[in-house]
Amino acid sequence: MKGRNARFGQGHGKGDEDAVMSAINTTPLVDVMLVLLIIFLITVPVVTQTVKMALPKESNIPTQTKPENIVLGVDTGNTIYWNTTPVKTQEELLARLVKEAKKDPQPEVHIRGDLGAKYSPIGRIVLAVQQAGIVKIAFITEPPPRN
């Protein structure tokens, strides 16, 4: 019997027991991972809910300076300027805008805000433009530097 086992490579020596279990069967692990991947791919679109919107594309339109345009600016001291003249009160700003709104065609309002300015004076300008009935309003910015 000893010769028969040696011929088929089934020896029961001490060194042979370690050699039998040297490989790990990874097939069940791969099967489980594929099932988890499929479940993940199916559930992700269900979990992420968004409202479909057409978002605006970035565009840089050069400013067309026309003499009838109104340029309002806000500096770091939160002073509102009509072109280069400071506007003292909100009522003065509104009165001047109402006067300009009656022109045909209506002028555009271009708002220039300093980077260090607070939002409140800019918000007051937008409110005054809306109350005056001027339709076209634009914010003048500098494009970021190209790398």
Position 21 in a domain? yes
Q: How many domains does the chain have?
A: 2
**87, 121: one domain:** yes
- 46-69 tens-digit pLDDT: 666 666 766 666 566 666 666 678
Position 101 in a domain? yes
- 16-29 tens-digit pLDDT: 555 566 778 888 88
Between 10 and 35, whose confidence is greater? 35
Between 43 and 98, whose confidence is greater? 98
Closest CA to 113 of 126, 103, 101: 126
Q: Count Cβ atoms within 10 A of the Cβ of residue 73 and give its class: 0-12 exposed, 13-18 middle, 19 or more buried.
A: buried
